[in-house]
Amino acid sequence: MGLPIQKATLYNTVLPVSNQKVKYRPFLVKEQANMMVTRETDSTLEMFDSIVGLISSCTEGKVDATKLPMADLEYLFLQIRTKSVGETAKLPLICRNTDEDCKEVHIEEVDLTLINVDTSKLLDSQIKISDELMVDLVPPTCQLAFEMDGKSESEVIRPLLRSCMVRIYDEENVYEMTDHRDSEIDEFIDSLTVSQFDKISEYFMSMPSLKHSVKWTCKACKFKNNVVLEGLQNFF
């Protein structure tokens, strides 16, 4: 007779940007070991691949993490981590007193249940770029965000808009982007005025992220620190 295999408890959550309902389980010992190996490599790409694989496993393959907005990926990973390891995390933070060049390390115990994604400043995805034209957008996927990391603005404009524009419409016609070639979409992008492009850019700039503020007084130099923890790197 084989050994008994425990059945994992399932939890429910709603992702903050896409409002997608997700069922997930805590990660297992073997999955935690894989993440610890990845963390030691200090590679952002390997960290992303590890988290994508973890989310796929913990949602029984029902969530393709590469297609999630970055804030949804961060939030879901944090929920899985909280149910797997605990509701608190001890994070090493370095004093930021540059006047005295203090490098004292402070260990902050963070309550992970208090960390949320603030979507209150996320702009409407329907952008009116002129009296006649509207553009429907979707948030960029985390896969796209990682692919564009480190690239210049000129390099990312076209692939970003090609990926995130769903349709363009006026009073008489609706133009679905899936019906048009990349070259046609690029031609439309190039025809935008600066003010029209700025309106679209404001939507992307309003994308939320996982964020948490930590305040502490350094024991060594008495400097009052205020650090904002943001993104996967701080919580991985």
Q: Is 7 helix (H, G, I), strand (E, B) or coil?
A: coil
Place of tokens 């404001």: 202
**How many residues are listed for the chain in this entry?**
236
37 Cβ contact partners less than 8 Å away, ≥ 6 residues apart: none
Distance CA 80, CA 25 (A): 7
Q: First CA to last CA across the chain, in angstroms?
A: 39
Closest CA to 209 of 19, 53, 14, 16: 16
The three-point CA angle 41-66-35 to 5° equals 30
Best-predicted range by mean pLDDT (42-56, 58-72, 109-123): 58-72
| pLDDT one-digit tens code per residue, 77-115 | 999 999 999 999 898 999 999 888 899 999 999 999 888
pTM confidence score = 0.88
Distance CA 7, CA 133 (A): 53
Distance CA 37, CA 99 (A): 36
Give the pLDDT score at 211.
87
Residue 44 pLDDT exceeds 80: no
Residue 39 pLDDT exceeds 90: no
Q: For 174, how many CA atoms within 13 A lie in the half-sphere containing its CB?
A: 5
The interaxial angle of helices 182-190 and 153-164, nearest 10 deg, is: 120
Give the pLDDT score at 236.
58
Any bridge partners for residue 93, and if so which?
106
Distance CA 234, CA 236 (A): 6
Give the E-state strand segments of the chain in sequence order. 11-14, 21-24, 88-94, 105-111, 116-117, 126-128, 134-137, 165-169, 174-176, 210-217, 224-230
Phi, psi of 40 (to 5 degrees): -70, -20
